[in-house]
Amino acid sequence: MHVPRTNQSKIHHSFDQPFITALLGPRRVGKSTLVREYAQKHESNAWVFLNMDHLDARQRIENGALKDLIQEGIQRQIGTRPKIWVAIDEAQKCPVLFDQIKALYDQYKDTDTLKFILTGSGFLTLHQLSAESLAGRIELHYLREFSLRESACYAHAVEFPASSLFDRLCDSDPQAHLAQHVASLAPFKPLLNASLEEEMLWGGLPEVLGLQKGDARRAYLANYLQAYLEKDIRALTTITDLNLYHKLMDIIAEQTGSVRQDKTISEALGCSRDTLKKYRGFLSATLVYQEVYPYIGSVLKRLVKTPKGYLLNNGLISYLTGLEELPVLQKSGLIGHRFENWFLKELQIWLDRESKRSAIYYWRTSGGAEVDFVVQRKPGVFPFEVTYSSRVQDKKIKNLRRFMQEESKAQIGFYVYMGDYNYDAKERICFLPAWAVG
């Protein structure tokens, strides 16, 4: 079924603009689907679709024939009316493409007769090439796995209120609006809780959630990982040991949500720190891994400065670790990290649609006080404690309180858990049920 994506209005708005649009995201999150659905709604437009996974198209572009491919696809010359819309999948796989796009864009930009939409699953390559060749001509957007509400919509064919809980955080009276938002979603609580459990175990890849649990999902994720290694990573000439890269993914899956330990990891892999840094960099570049750095603020000397690492897809973590059942995951003591991983994705989706400068951090002092996530959305700062429990833990409340005492820009603290909505006016802490997030 068709699932409206949370941020699709912003992405569609970019599609409507004359500059070049790049849509980035991991494999199989629905980038091409989003473009195709837009094209179907605008079928009167003149469309040309190219895919850099196709060797023949890639070779022709490497020989300088992008303009010819477009004109052959539309059977008329560029620069004539109506406008030509060119959608190019996996653009990062053809580096010479960008100079040709630049030349065509510059030649026809004043006529508004040519629109490029690029998609890619390789952030580093596409971002660097676009920055070098297309600076001032391109706008970058991101598409992630399904959010919690998207997953519930996909599984149960229901529609949710358009507004997001995160959109209420910056209101003049956020606690009142948050209460109203949670109340509006209350009829969907069982469905949202069921989808939350699915996402913690299997992630939010649309095709995974469309399969029956167990063997089918396991097989899909095995093929997904193999395609990622063979198509995305093997093509990188600087990756000389694919087995080492796979082992690094195994370790990161086990340590998701933990403070990075380079010495321990490099010793376990039997590689140098430089190799570890390079391989981990490509994990980030292909949008499957993210590091969350510590929030510095005004208490630099007392803070831990090492980042935390997250393998972003919970389904891959289940496949790589074998922990794919909720009772087993709970007994392992690692369910909290899966919960954090899910919530990190929801934060990413929120900030993807924000025009203001923003970033995600964590906060930890050398004495052990910690806040799981700190979102800096200037001028505000939003601290989040995240716990897979229906009980309020005094230690976590104490940590939130301490952070807000030391950071004046944090007006309210947020406690995300499996319990009910509440607001403690004295402590300035809002208790948010996880099923209402997003």
- Please report, in tens digits, the pLDDT of each residue of the chain (438 residues total): 689 999 999 999 999 999 999 999 999 999 999 999 999 999 999 999 999 999 999 999 999 999 999 999 999 999 988 999 999 999 988 888 988 999 999 999 999 999 999 998 875 454 555 556 677 788 989 999 999 999 999 999 888 877 788 888 877 677 888 999 999 999 999 999 999 999 999 999 999 999 998 899 999 999 999 999 988 888 777 788 999 999 999 999 999 999 999 999 999 999 999 999 999 988 998 899 999 999 986 544 445 578 999 999 999 999 999 999 999 999 999 999 999 999 999 999 999 988 778 899 999 988 889 999 999 988 889 999 999 999 999 999 999 999 999 999 999 999 999 999 999 999 999 999 999 997
The alpha carbon of 370 is separated from its chain's Cα centroid by a whole number of angstroms, namely 24
Q: Would you state the pLDDT for residue 300?
A: 46
Q: Would you state the pLDDT for residue 412?
A: 93
What is the Cα–Cα distance from 10 to 223, expressed in whole angstroms? Answer: 32
Burial class (CB in 10 A: 0-12, 13-18, 19+), 1: exposed
CB-CB contact of 368 with 391 (8 Å): no
Q: Would you state the pLDDT for residue 299?
A: 45
Beta bridge partners of 383: 374
For the chain, counts of helices (H) and of strands (E)? 18, 14
- Reading the block at residue 18, the tokens are 């004359």
- Reading the block at residue 117, the tokens are 């939409």
HSE-up of residue 93 (Cα within 13 Å, Cβ side)? 21
Q: Would you state the pLDDT for residue 164?
A: 85
Q: Residue 283: which residues within 8 A CB-CB, separation 6 or more?
A: 248, 249, 252, 289, 311
CB-CB contact of 93 with 99 (8 Å): no
Give this prediction's pTM: 0.94
- Reading the block at residue 226, the tokens are 């193999």
Q: Would you state the pLDDT for residue 302?
A: 46
Q: Would you state the pLDDT for residue 239?
A: 85
CATH of 8-142, one of 3.90.550.10, 3.30.300.30, 3.30.499.10, 3.40.50.300: 3.40.50.300
HSE-up of residue 322 (Cα within 13 Å, Cβ side)? 1
What is the Cα–Cα distance from 189 to 210, expressed in whole angstroms? Answer: 21
Tell me the backbone φ, ψ of residue 306, rounded to 5 degrees.
-85, 140
Q: Would you state the pLDDT for residue 305?
A: 76
User: What ranges do the domains of the chain cover?
Assistant: 8-142, 149-436
Q: Would you state the pLDDT for residue 123?
A: 57
Q: Would you state the pLDDT for residue 224?
A: 97
Most distant CA pair in the chain: distance in Å? 69
Q: Would you state the pLDDT for residue 133?
A: 67
